[in-house]
């Protein structure tokens, strides 16, 4: 059953059509990596999936709820969709524990004791149990991003969206973040990941989508996209990045 269904999605910014008709269905437990050149619409596409952007046409359906229908409570729907950004976006004035506890408490999903227990469990899962009392400014980039992942997981989402989660990291920290994402994938989380980490995509993705110019130009299993790409634009992009 499809967790995420995107049908003929179009997005304009003024007269600039950035997404020109995207169709995708992501199944439960599937890991989809989205690759493509800068400016091809990858971030906009991901942002439409939790309605951080209003769409111009088409449908985005998550867990059978059309995010743009007037019957859908978008805040409730968003609780089910975790998002991790390139620049962490942690609350600088909260310590690590409070960063993770904040949303589930604020939204009435967990009481303080439950939120604390959840936060501690998630910190252990991302290997940061010793950082509960630290502030974001005291953490490395890789540690901040692992906190950001724990914070998204605290809402117990069905779906996780990642927009270039390792692009702002020093090279030696990329592996620790990809490791956490790999664990999540193997535990069956449904994930969409915009990434430039081709090795990760090749290893972890069930499916790779190549976007260019607001379209999905080619998609397939990683061995197909990386080993035997068919479209000229995919071939030329991969020649530059591999
Ligand atoms: P990618 O993530 O693949 O680099 P983006 O989705 O960020 O691509 O951007 C695709 C296009 O949409 C770019 O031309 C960009 O300038 C434009 N764009 C993105 N966000 C906005 C915005 N908020 N307002 C106007 N144009 C935007
Ligand atoms: Mg982007």
Domain boundaries, the chain: 91-156
- Which protein residue's CA is at the shortest distance from atom 23 of ligand 1? 13
In angstroms, what is the span from residue 36 Cα to ligand 2's centroid?
A: 9
- Which protein residue's CA is at the shortest distance from atom 7 of ligand 1? 43
Using the atom order of ligand 1, give the atom closest to the CA of residue 44: 6
For the chain, state the CA radius of gyration: 18
CB atoms within 10 A of CB 93: 10
The pairing of beta strand 31-35 with beta strand 190-194: parallel
Percent of the chain with pLDDT over 90: 99
Beta strands in 96-204 (DSSP E): 159-163, 190-194
Task: Find tokens 């110019």 and name the residue.
Answer: 213
Angstrom distances, CA of residue 113 to CA of 79, 117, 121? 20, 6, 12
- Which protein residue's CA is at the shortest distance from atom 1 of ligand 1? 39
3-state secondary structure of 78: helix
Regarding the beta carbon of 91 and ligand 1, being less than 6 Å apart is answered no
In angstroms, what is the span from residue 40 Cα to ligand 1's centroid?
A: 8
191 torsion bin: left (phi>0), alpha (psi -120 to 50), beta (else): beta
Query: pLDDT tens, 79-89?
Result: 999 999 999 99
pTM beyond cutoff 0.90: yes
Of the pLDDT bands very low, low, confident and very high (cuts 50, 70, 90), residue 175 is: very high
Rounded mean pLDDT, 102-121: 97
pLDDT at 1: 79
Regarding the beta carbon of 39 and ligand 1, being less than 6 Å apart is answered yes
CB atoms within 10 A of CB 235: 13
ipTM above 0.95, yes or no: yes
pLDDT at 178: 98
Of the pLDDT bands very low, low, confident and very high (cuts 50, 70, 90), residue 229 is: very high
């Amino acid at each position: 059953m499809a967790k995420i269904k995107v049908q003929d999605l179009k997005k304009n910014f003024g007269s600039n059509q950035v997404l020109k008709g995207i169709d995708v269905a992501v199944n439960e437990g599937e890991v989809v990596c989205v690759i493509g050149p800068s400016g091809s619409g990858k971030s906009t596409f991901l942002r439409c999936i939790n309605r951080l952007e209003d769409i111009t046409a088409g449908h985005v359906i998550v867990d059978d709820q059309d995010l743009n229908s007037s019957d859908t409570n978008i805040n409730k729907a968003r609780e089910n969709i975790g998002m991790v950004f390139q620049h962490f976006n942690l609350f600088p004035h909260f310590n690590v524990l409070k960063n993770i506890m904040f949303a589930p408490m604020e939204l009435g999903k967990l009481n303080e004791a439950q939120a604390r227990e959840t936060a501690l469990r998630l910190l252990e899962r991302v290997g940061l149990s010793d950082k509960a009392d630290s502030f974001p400014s005291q953490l490395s980039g890789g540690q901040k991003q692992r906190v950001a992942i724990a914070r998204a997981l605290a809402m117990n989402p069905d779906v996780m969206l990642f927009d270039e989660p390792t692009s702002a990291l020093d090279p030696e920290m990329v592996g620790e973040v990809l490791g956490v994402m790999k664990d999540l994938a193997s535990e069956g989380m449904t994930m969409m990941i915009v990434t430039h980490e081709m090795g990760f995509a090749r290893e972890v993705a069930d499916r790779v989508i190549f976007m260019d110019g607001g379209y999905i130009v080619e998609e397939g299993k990683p061995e197909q996209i990386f080993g035997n790409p068919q479209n000229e634009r995919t071939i030329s992009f991969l020649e530059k990045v591999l």
